[in-house]
Structure 1
Amino acid sequence: MEYIIIQRSNGYINNKKPFNKKRRQGNGAFFLPQKHQKAPIMGAEFIPKPSENDYNLSGDCETAPVILGLLPAALVDHIARVDLSILPTIPGEPGGSFPVSPEELKDILREVDTHILSSPNKLPPVKTIAGGSVTNTVRGLAAGFGISCGVIGACGDDEQGALFLKNMSFYGVNISRLRVKDEHTGQCVCLVDPLGNRTMRPCISTAAKVQAGELKREDFKGSKWLVLRYSIYNLEVINAAIKFAKQEGLLISLDLASFEMVRKFRKPLLELLESGNIDLCFANEDEAAELLLSGEQVARPEAALDVLGKYCQWAVVTLGANGCIARYKKEVVRVPAIGQTKAIDATGAGDLFAGGFLYGLVKGLSLEECCVVGSCSGGSVIRSLGGEVSPENWQWMYKQLKTEGLLAPTVVNDL
């Protein structure tokens, strides 16, 4: 198979001439297949992976991704199975996600070495992959659902940045809008306890970031959805992205990120929702509870769904093993969890749920069917470590979809 070599630059990714060697690693270079099988076209959102002629000299794909993910600071996840005794030794409460300093990140990684649990099936106890909520969502949409996806943002010109780029390009995610800067790539430690619950501590204070002024309206032209994750630290670039996306007619999906982020920065979150620019909002049960002021309403998912429904066309509250509840305008549905499976690691469950739900919306499925696909997709990722779904677990998901009377996606599997 012939490959196109893609090198890092001070700005966008640039394509070079075809390179007739096997895929290799290192030196910041990575390869994308030049020759692909054609996927059956089931609608405008299904686009074959790019060939040599699909790129111009700046690295832009002529056909815009249907779904764009905003990555103000790209992340690499270090996922480790650990015993519960480590949790009191790290900053913040168990569960959720909240930023830490570079020094705190180093301390946590040192602690991880002394709290590692043995992994099932002889898997390595620590796994390092391209990570972050938006990354998990768009990678899942591209890899498991065949939806054309891209990312917009920045990563560093370092080993972690090269890993991130190679991982995303391997799954067919368009990286032409990703700036590569002479800085460090963000990192996140994901601690998975024996029950499969995860505690995440990202370090982004010194990470390469895209600035609001670097975004361009043409970055969003031709796409249909923009996927965002709420963060007070990225609010300026989030608002800039929303402005351009709305000018180009995109719908906006927002994930509430973590209960700590909602609790500490509830007011700016409500202002973002009240702007009327958020079309779809995802929250888990803990985030939903924090959305409600104490004593204002009963802290139950239905109340949070009502609050989100005031501002968004679609609102979803995921309930873990109890499934989810969702609302579209005045329609409300409750869908149980689908496919009994033991949770090895909950990392990415909400992100993959969001990917499945978005796939349903893109394909014109009903609200209930969107929830079913989301449940199957979220269930696929918890069967192994990390937010990256294995081919075996995608097959598990397709089987669940067929059991529920839904067609499995047609996906290009030629990488």
Structure 2
Amino acid sequence: MVAEALPKSPEAPLVLGLQPAALIDNVAPVDWSLLDQIPGDRGGSVPVQKDELERILKEVNTHVSATPFKKMAGGSVTNTVRGQLFVSNMGFSGVSISRLRKKKGSTAQCVCLVDDSGNRTMRPCLSSAVKIQADELNKEDFTGSKWLVLRYAVLNLEVIQAAIRIAKQEGLSVSLDLASFEMVRNYRSELRQLLESGNIDLCFANEDEAAELLRGGQEAGPEAALEFLSRHCRWAVVTLGSNGCIAKHDKEVVQVPAIGETLATDATGAGDLFASGFLYGLIKGLSLEECCKVGSCSGGSVIRALGGEVTPENWQWMHKQLQLKDLPVPDIRN
């Protein structure tokens, strides 16, 4: 299979995100009776096969006919309708797609089931999707960028390791999100090897992922996880949901509360938006505490509505929160 690269833009993106497979989310509110029928822990993210994905989609369509699925995009991309949706959404959000690859085949999907408390349970299907391969990466993809952003996934470990190797050769810093507590639980040793390599500059974990990272040890709380991460990464952040976050850089440790007036409708995308805000703060040269505050504002903006994309109204809400805290406001296209 030959990959077709999209046209290069004249300017390299400051932040380069690696997503080996483009992913389309199917988001819907559900009640607990439906969640009880789906194998796996609530609140997590467990890969499923295509037939299981289709079964879940059918069940949800039966249960939530009054509130249809909301589809959104969030590597490689195919020439299918879903692939074009991914490209369209990225362009609309101001994301450079100059490093994307187009391939023939299917685009990955994920079912995001949101309960009454705003917690999301995710079931991604990546098995039949086209993906970028490790040998398709080249240094031109990385040249001129400052940060490489990754999500931990054992299925993508080879391409992740290849990307880190090239990124370090090209002078990029590397950010890693731990992705899900199941991924940490089931592939802890591989994750720890990756962290202990010294190639991860910034690591994000939520409190569930932090607990799994040190499970079986004498201490497994968020503070212990933060201390472990900070031994191997220049910046370490553990998010605590409604309790905000804790972060460490060198010897400095901060604890920042969540935005008090934020009511969670759907937690899908909260970690990604927090990380993007924190990284924006780092690039702007803000202090550790200010980076956490920007992350809290951006993360708080996405949980106010269904789905992992921030609505125009909630971008305005985020702008207001940043202005109230005398923090820099990003230029958002949509």
TM-based fold match above 0.5: yes
Q: CA deviation at 1:403?
A: 1.5
Q: CA deviation at 1:10?
A: 5.0
Tell me what 1:12 maps to: 5
Aligned to 1:333, what secondary structure does the other structure show?
Answer: strand
1:315-367 CA-partner distances (Å, limit 9, x unpaired): 00000000000000111000000141211100001110000000000000000
Tell me what 1:144 maps to: none
1:300-329 CA-partner distances (Å, limit 9, x unpaired): 100000010110000000000000000001
1:163-203 CA-partner distances (Å, limit 9, x unpaired): 00111012221112111111100000000011100000000
Aligned length: 333
Q: CA deviation at 1:12?
A: 1.3
2:211 pairs with 1:289 = yes
Alignment check: 8 A CA contact 1:186 1:206 kept: yes
Q: CA deviation at 1:91?
A: 2.3
Tell me what 2:267 maps to: 346
2:258 pairs with 1:337 = yes
Aligned to 2:184, what secondary structure does the other structure show?
Answer: helix
1:130-157 CA-partner distances (Å, limit 9, x unpaired): 02xxxxxxxxxxxxxxxxxxxxx20222
Aligned to 1:357, what secondary structure does the other structure show?
Answer: helix
Letter in 2 for 1:107: R
Tell me what 1:300 maps to: 221
**Which structure has the greater CA radius of gyration?**
1
Q: CA deviation at 1:116?
A: 1.8
Question: Could you state the TM-score of these two structures normalised by the residue count of structure 1?
Answer: 0.78
Tell me what 2:28 maps to: 80
Q: CA deviation at 1:247?
A: 0.6
Report percent identity of matched pairs.
65
Aligned to 1:175, what secondary structure does the other structure show?
Answer: coil
Alignment check: 8 A CA contact 2:61 2:68 kept: no
Alignment check: 8 A CA contact 1:339 1:379 kept: no
Tell me what 2:153 maps to: 231
2:126 pairs with 1:126 = no
Question: Could you state the TM-score of these two structures normalised by the residue count of structure 2?
Answer: 0.97
Tell me what 2:76 maps to: 154
Q: CA deviation at 1:405?
A: 2.2
Q: CA deviation at 1:125?
A: 3.4
Q: CA deviation at 1:117?
A: 7.7
Aligned to 1:96, what secondary structure does the other structure show?
Answer: coil
Letter in 1 for 2:61: D
Tell me what 2:15 maps to: 67
1:60-99 CA-partner distances (Å, limit 9, x unpaired): 1111000010011110000011111111211211111111
Alignment check: 8 A CA contact 1:230 1:257 kept: yes
Aligned to 1:71, what secondary structure does the other structure show?
Answer: coil
1:268-321 CA-partner distances (Å, limit 9, x unpaired): 000000110000000000000000031x12221000000101100000000000
Alpha-carbon distance in structure 2 between the residues aligned to 1:76 and 1:372: 29
Aligned to 1:89, what secondary structure does the other structure show?
Answer: coil
Alpha-carbon distance in structure 1 between the residues aligned to 2:178 and 2:154: 11
Tell me what 1:165 maps to: 87
Q: CA deviation at 1:412?
A: 5.8
Alignment check: 8 A CA contact 2:274 2:296 kept: yes
RMSD between aligned alpha carbons?
Answer: 1.3
2:124 pairs with 1:178 = no
**Structure 2: runs of 5+ lacking an equivalent:** none
Alpha-carbon distance in structure 2 between the residues aligned to 1:392 and 1:166: 20
Alignment check: 8 A CA contact 2:117 2:264 kept: yes
Q: CA deviation at 1:408?
A: 2.0
2:188 pairs with 1:195 = no
